[in-house]
Structure 1
Amino acid sequence: MDIGLVKRCAAAGVAAVALSVSVSAPAAASQAPGAATCSYQVTPVVVPPGAERQRVDVVATDGAGNYSGTEIVGSSGAYRLVLWHGDDPETVEPPKGFDSVAPRSQNRSGTVLVNAVSVADRKRQIFLYRDGNYEPLAIPDGFVDPRGVAINDLGEIVATANPVGGTGSVVIAWLSHAAGPVIIAPPELPYASAVDIDQDSTIMLGDGYSAYLWRSGKLIALPPSPEVPVLSRGISAGRAVGTILDAKGPKGVVWTGNIPELLEGGGAAESINRHGLIAGRARAWDGPPVVWQGTRLAAELPLPAGSTSARADLVSDDGTVFGDADAGAGPVHWRCAV
């Protein structure tokens, strides 16, 4: 362990023991589909007919076998929404008046949170796509350039937007217990940016290099942030993940509440599911794709034939891990074979 990192974390009010990588998964974690008992198999994601594999990406999942992503079309770089029903892809045209649409999040009911852009006037709009229809999300007056970020199973949504005529950014949340959109603009975060929302309405946010939780109107720092730069990535079932930026290399971290624990072997954490299974890359930014269970390195994920590197970017609640591989392999997924 980097002793300098521990000292900086302690200066931020964190006991050094909280950063021990020798601890096991949190006691509350249930056994994940696809944990230490698994032998993972890698399979190419089926892309839409005629699509180039390198132009397709998986972005979100409903946690129960369906997922969504993008296909880049034409020379303009515009995105099309792709929905996978099981492993069968369906390409969806953008809503009327928009040229490009990309998903950011998907919940258990199949609702997909998407961002749409009009090339002509650069207008941005957040939509919910469900039951074959795009439904625009009304943005509060006084804000522009909305970017939807995450939706939970309650249909609660978080987004980032800019104030009209002002500087910085704010987080906007649509919560089940609130009569209208909630504007989150902490003075500590003049460029507040949404990261994710948990099933209990806890919001993960930051300003690019910091990690915070927002719960019941209270802002909670996730040590060693903000004193040490951190990339925040996601939250599920009370556990959040991110990566501490350190001169000796990235250090994946999982927070239970606001208590940090380093992931075994270092590397970058990208996604966590409700069972505490974490996907990312071990040791370095360009390290091999891996999964951790709790803080323990559970498996290095195999590469598809012909590839020399891959990323593991997204882990579903059913244990499927999604990513991308080089050498033309494009999007792939890893599934557990016990």
Structure 2
Amino acid sequence: MHKRFGMLTAAVLAAGMVFATPAQADTCRWIVEDIKTPEGYDPASARVSGTDSKGNFSGTVIIPGQNNSAVVLWTNGEPRVVSEFANFNYPHVDDENSAGTVLVTGVDRGGAGEWGVYLYTGGHTGNGTVTQLQAPEGYRADRGIALNDQGDVLASAERLKDGHRVTVLWSMVAARPLVIDTPLGQGVDLDDDGTVLLDAGYTHPGYLWRAGQIIPLSGKGSFVNTGAIRGGKVVRTESMWPEGQSWLWENPDEPRPIEDGGTAWDINSNGLIVGDRSTIVGPSAVWRNTTFLAELPMPDGVRDASGVFVVGDDDVIYGDAYNYGPLKWSCSYR
């Protein structure tokens, strides 16, 4: 078991003073903690992939001695390996929403033996329920992408007759799942209003799919990560390896450069962005919209995080460090 890090000293955490929300005038400082992992599992193999933004979160860990993984739910900081996925091969968490519903991709050995997309509900309050999402006839959903706070789900799917890739949206206000099939890109994220961010590849910043209409994001360059959307705001990263420049779209026609932003991995509904500072391989850092706030502190002996992050609407950030384990950052007023 790793030692858990509590409040670190001001000397260690002097990465900068930041605002917890745009409306607050008092400043806070970022602190880092180790995340407790299930007993008997290697912390370095654990990764957090979703949060309900209420202190609970979810992810995946490698099963010791097996070429397989297990789904983990953390409730009030305590991890639980989810037994309902014990009969799955390679299950992994894709997302979690504010209701504590978890989106999972995996292969059910008791079913057809094919990749499928599942919702896991009620797991933070007891034994949960696993429900497979059924794609439209002629398609197979095989990779979960995103789950929003309305309960809408975005997934990647294959057309069975020829293997053609499409995006499928299960909307709470639609009678049946919708196939999004466009040469302009694949869905990579989902906003709470049902808007889908489409990744158009390296040569275009992407498109928004909104109620059947496709809206281009303005900009030029070579874009390397798939990007994220939340609250109508989009972040993506332009690559000039090893240099990088992250961008924020609050309006599809007006991209704004993020101050000293090398990459932007995720954004929450408050405009808190997490990424890498200055370059694609720069230190992990946070921004509020386009304004730089601070570099994220690391535990002793850890140089940097892996660059894969989840940021909740409570402004708590989850990530991991290579060959170390999962980490949690929050902003303290003490």
TM-score by length of 2: 0.84
Counterpart in 2 of 1:80? 70
Which of residues 245, 252, 267 in structure 2 aligns to 1:272?
A: 267
Counterpart in 2 of 1:211? 206
Change (3 A) 1:167 1:294: same
* Matches for 1:149-160 after TM superposition, within 5 Å: 149-160=145-156
Unaligned residue ranges in structure 2 (runs of 5+): 1-19, 123-127
Identity of aligned residues (%): 34
The answer (yes or no) to whether the contact 1:99–1:119 under 8 Å persists in 2 is yes
Change (3 A) 1:32 1:124: farther
Counterpart in 2 of 1:234? 228
The answer (yes or no) to whether the contact 1:208–1:231 under 8 Å persists in 2 is no
Distance 2:222 2:86 in 1: 44
* Matches for 1:1-338 after TM superposition, within 5 Å: 31=21, 37-95=27-85, 98-118=88-108, 123-131=114-122, 132-189=128-185, 193-209=186-202, 210-224=205-219, 228-247=222-241, 249-258=243-252, 259-311=254-306, 313-326=309-322, 328-338=323-333
Letter in 2 for 1:291: V
Q: CA deviation at 1:33?
A: 9.9
Q: CA deviation at 1:335?
A: 0.9
Per-residue CA deviation, residues 206-247 of structure 1 (Å, 9 max, x unaligned), is 24435221112111122226x643533211111111111235
Per-residue CA deviation, residues 113-152 of structure 1 (Å, 9 max, x unaligned), is 1101257975111111012111111111211352111111
Distance 2:250 2:289 in 1: 10
Counterpart in 2 of 1:23? none
Change (3 A) 1:35 1:67: farther
Per-residue CA deviation, residues 39-89 of structure 1 (Å, 9 max, x unaligned), is 111110111111111110001111121110000114443221100112111
Letter in 1 for 2:324: A
Q: CA deviation at 1:180?
A: 0.7
Q: CA deviation at 1:99?
A: 2.1
The answer (yes or no) to whether the contact 1:251–1:262 under 8 Å persists in 2 is yes
Q: CA deviation at 1:104?
A: 0.6
User: Any idea what SS the aligned residue of 1:115 has?
Assistant: strand
Q: CA deviation at 1:196?
A: 1.4
User: Any idea what SS the aligned residue of 1:166 has?
Assistant: coil
Aligned residues: 305
Letter in 2 for 1:199: D
The answer (yes or no) to whether the contact 2:48–2:57 under 8 Å persists in 1 is yes
Where does structure 1 differ by over 4 angstroms across 4 or more consecutive aligned residues? 32-36, 118-122
Counterpart in 1 of 2:16? none
Letter in 1 for 2:62: I
Distance 2:301 2:25 in 1: 26
The answer (yes or no) to whether the contact 1:81–1:101 under 8 Å persists in 2 is yes
Letter in 1 for 2:54: A
User: Any idea what SS the aligned residue of 2:225 has?
Assistant: strand
Letter in 2 for 1:79: S
Bigger RCO of structures 1 and 2 (CA < 8 A, at least 6 apart): 1
The answer (yes or no) to whether the contact 2:157–2:168 under 8 Å persists in 1 is yes
Change (3 A) 1:232 1:36: farther
Distance 2:302 2:24 in 1: 23
User: Any idea what SS the aligned residue of 2:44 has?
Assistant: helix
User: Any idea what SS the aligned residue of 2:193 has?
Assistant: coil
Distance 1:321 1:243 in 2: 19
Distance 2:60 2:25 in 1: 28
Distance 2:294 2:52 in 1: 23
User: Over aligned residues, Cα RMSD in angstroms?
Assistant: 2.5
